[in-house]
Structure 1
Amino acid sequence: MRVLIFTEGGSQIGLGHISRCSSLYDELENRGIEVEFIINSDIEQFEIIKDKQYKVVNWLTKNFLTNYINRDDYCIVDSYLAGEELYKIISDQAKKVLFIDDNARINFPEGIVVNPCLSTEAVRYPKNDTNCYLIGPKYIILRSPFVQVKREHINSQIKEVLITLGGSDIYNLTPSILTQLSSKPDITFNVVIGNAFENIKEIKSFGSKNVNFYENASAEEMKSIMLRSDFAITAAGQTIYELISTQTPFIPIKVIENQQNNILALKELDLVEETLEYNTPFFNEKLICEVEKIMVLKNRINLTKKYEKVIDGLGNKRIINALV
């Protein structure tokens, strides 16, 4: 048995697809199943999957798919770039297919459709006989270090803050956030720099005794940083699930449109009051306001209690059980 994972990532679209698919890769590998990443990217090497089998190639062609996929292969597809025609080719070519989706982007061909989200109401799918839908918190994908984690202590005073804008900081927000928070010298800022960042030099110009930089942090390192941090400022993508799993209070920032459903679900579950968008008027002032609120101990305790009930950490297993 072989499972092929078709996905994408890079300097402009980040590494969210690769990160969540790496968790499914691990689950398959733990079961003794042969698995390979097929990645469409402008980057040749990825630290987050350096120990995995992967091929960087433009797979978005009929010729590649028909020649590479065998009739007894199982496939996972996580893409915003592939159109319906290519999805249909994969579905026809493979033995069984699982599609990861966030927003009902296309009409899916025969296969399993997984929407690993916080809300079952955010996206509506057509009912039919050719698709099986796995939707909601039960199917949230976590990297293995984040499964069933318990935060042991909540500091009364803020000591450390995590700043993480995903695999690529395409709008150069990290320097801006550090500038806004420079008036807090007693707090240590843990800044995570992703594989696809193009503004590393500018970010590191903020280097001082209270700013730590972590480049291409592994899942274990990220868990450690989160548990050490009293709260986080984060892009509203895949990282919010890991922050919830570690019960780390966070301020989410919508930096790309496909994060809108996450934002809506956070509001629906009463996990945030206000949400931030990188390009809205008075963004800096709103950010400082949210920082002041989350620094209040009572607010952080309330958030931590709410997070404990959201994700059970079994999503990876449920998804792979459905595929194989």
Structure 2
Amino acid sequence: MKVSIITEGFENTGYGHITRCISLYQAFMDRNIYPALYINGDEKSKSFLSNVNYELIDWLTHPAQLIKKIINSDIVIIDSYNAGKEFYENISRFTKILLMIDDFIRIDYPPGIVLNGSINAELLPYPKKSNIEYLLGTKYIPIRKAFWEITNRKYKSELESILITFGGQDIRNLTIPVLNAITDYNPELKISVVFGNKDGNKYSELKSKYPNAEFYYSINEYEMKELMINCDLAISAAGQTLYELAATGTPTIAIAVAENQKNNINEWHKAGFILEPIFYNDINCIKKIIEQLNKLKSIRLRKKLGNNGKIKVDGKGSKKVVNHLIEKYCEEEGFYLRKAIDIDSEPVFNLSNDPAVRQQSINKNPITWEEHLQWFNSRINDKNYLFLLAFDKDDKFIGQIRFQIEEESAIVSISITKEFRGKGLSKKIIKAACSKLFNERNIKLIVAYILPDNHASINGFKSAGFTQIGEENINDEKYLKFVLKRD
């Protein structure tokens, strides 16, 4: 399955789009599918992209460059505030399923799936169209893998520790004023300060000035989760971070730092997760933070806010979205294909040793585990071999299809598990896999060798467009030779 994710992130606008796209990337990886991420971003965006298959590309200015990379994608995801309707319409021509992430009914979207995981998004007046499906509300909010599983939170009777975070980029420079205000309010409070991806050296002198504070720079999602869980209260911007704070049940004082956060903060207030909304340009912003801090000395109030957050965000949004996309794809195809990886060794071994499979193979002897491991590891790492596995929407193993590539031709073989035989999947898998091979490699001819009595396989390859051109003897046994030529 080819999945392409398109998004953006800059220092002056923040990196929230990137972090939620990474959460979807992680959910695909959880299903052993490895997407490609195309980011219109700056150099600082790279700090969010460790262990991610990504490419920085100005796809807004040079869409043709992007098209070359995403063509023949099975699923494309777009998360942007800058792309126009024409861009979405153009991308939709090159994919089977298009997912468009939205926050405020930004444009009139083309046919596909619109995802808005914002708080109470299901109440927004989205137009009802037969060719658009909507995934709305916090049950679908994509948040990072670290927040998929959260242990029960313990609330302390006294307010002892505070987390201050204004996202990957503190665009309103609120961190230091808030830190000063909290220190003046109560010098005994333990404070954790996250500066996003700003240069930590710039703040090295702060430790001596604020002895009760710990400073963190460009921390990963697991470190951020621990800071949230271990603090009694957070002070945060009102963007993507609020959903992670809600998932951890962290009582929060939220400040809207951008126009597009106003609806977010108002809806979280209605949901009972935060007290009165605060806006960065309010002359009394700092004063209101301290007023709320006083109120949140109450453990009862903190528990109430934290529990309301957890009710709204269970942390599973990314997985729900990806599961839905794969189910949607399988509704039409009946299966999906992905490349074989090391964890697939055992099911492939069991299928390969199925007596029915061995009977139709060139080598009919049973395969030992040691032989299989050596063969399997060499094949999945061989650039001249395309090894694909087919699964249903619930990740049940359907079968394997393999291509041995020799210059401009390839030899194909396929085997289906007993559970899925006789369901008409073989011809579909052959067609899809051959199409993938033609699209990805400079292959002009695909060859299949089939025993004359293997009628099911003969019918499957014929239905997939293969033509018999003769016979060949292999290991003193006659095989029918079928070929499929590139259109």
| TM-score class normalised by the smaller sequence | over 0.9
CA distance in 2: counterparts of 1:212 and 1:122, whole angstroms? 40
Kindly indicate whether the alpha-carbon contact (under 8 Å) linking 1:11 and 1:43 is maintained by their aligned counterparts in 2. Answer: no
CA distance in 2: counterparts of 1:11 and 1:156, whole angstroms? 39
SS of the residue corresponding to residue 88 of structure 1 reads: helix
**Mean Cα displacement is larger for which, 293-302 or 184-193?**
293-302
Indicate whether 1:254 and 2:256 are aligned: yes
SS of the residue corresponding to residue 95 of structure 1 reads: strand
Deviation, structure 1 residue 161: 0.5
- Deviation readout 1:136-170 (Å, 9 max, x if unpaired): 12101121221241334211122211000001011
Larger radius of gyration: 2
Amino acid at match of 1:169: D
CA distance in 2: counterparts of 1:203 and 1:298, whole angstroms? 36
Aligned to 1:271: 273
Deviation, structure 1 residue 307: 2.5
- Deviation readout 1:287-315 (Å, 9 max, x if unpaired): 11111111222211222232332222221
CA distance in 2: counterparts of 1:312 and 1:232, whole angstroms? 19
**Aligned-CA RMSD value:** 1.7
Kindly indicate whether the alpha-carbon contact (under 8 Å) linking 1:62 and 1:89 is maintained by their aligned counterparts in 2. Answer: no
Deviation, structure 1 residue 122: 4.9
SS of the residue corresponding to residue 286 of structure 2 reads: helix
Aligned to 2:81: 80
Kindly indicate whether the alpha-carbon contact (under 8 Å) linking 2:19 and 2:48 is maintained by their aligned counterparts in 1. Answer: yes
Deviation, structure 1 residue 123: 2.5
Amino acid at match of 2:228: M
Indicate whether 1:11 and 2:11 are aligned: yes
Q: Percent identity?
A: 38
Aligned to 1:112: 113
Distance 1:174 1:267, change over 3 A: same
Kindly indicate whether the alpha-carbon contact (under 8 Å) linking 1:76 and 1:100 is maintained by their aligned counterparts in 2. Answer: yes
Aligned to 1:142: 143
CA distance in 2: counterparts of 1:211 and 1:225, whole angstroms? 13
Aligned length: 322
CA distance in 2: counterparts of 1:298 and 1:65, whole angstroms? 52
SS of the residue corresponding to residue 302 of structure 1 reads: helix
Alignment of 1:1-324 (within 5 A): 1-43=1-43, 46-60=46-60, 61-183=62-184, 184-195=186-197, 197=198, 203-207=203-207, 208-324=210-326
CA distance in 2: counterparts of 1:45 and 1:307, whole angstroms? 28
SS of the residue corresponding to residue 271 of structure 1 reads: coil
Amino acid at match of 2:315: G
> Which structure: greater strand fraction?
2
Pick 1 or 2: higher relative contact order, CA cutoff 8 A, min separation 6: 1
Kindly indicate whether the alpha-carbon contact (under 8 Å) linking 1:150 and 1:247 is maintained by their aligned counterparts in 2. Answer: no
Normalising by the residue count of structure 1, what TM-score does the alignment of the two structures yield?
A: 0.94
CA distance in 2: counterparts of 1:302 and 1:44, whole angstroms? 37
Kindly indicate whether the alpha-carbon contact (under 8 Å) linking 1:175 and 1:206 is maintained by their aligned counterparts in 2. Answer: no
Q: Which runs of 5+ in 1 are unaligned?
A: none
CA distance in 2: counterparts of 1:104 and 1:318, whole angstroms? 21
Kindly indicate whether the alpha-carbon contact (under 8 Å) linking 2:147 and 2:225 is maintained by their aligned counterparts in 1. Answer: yes
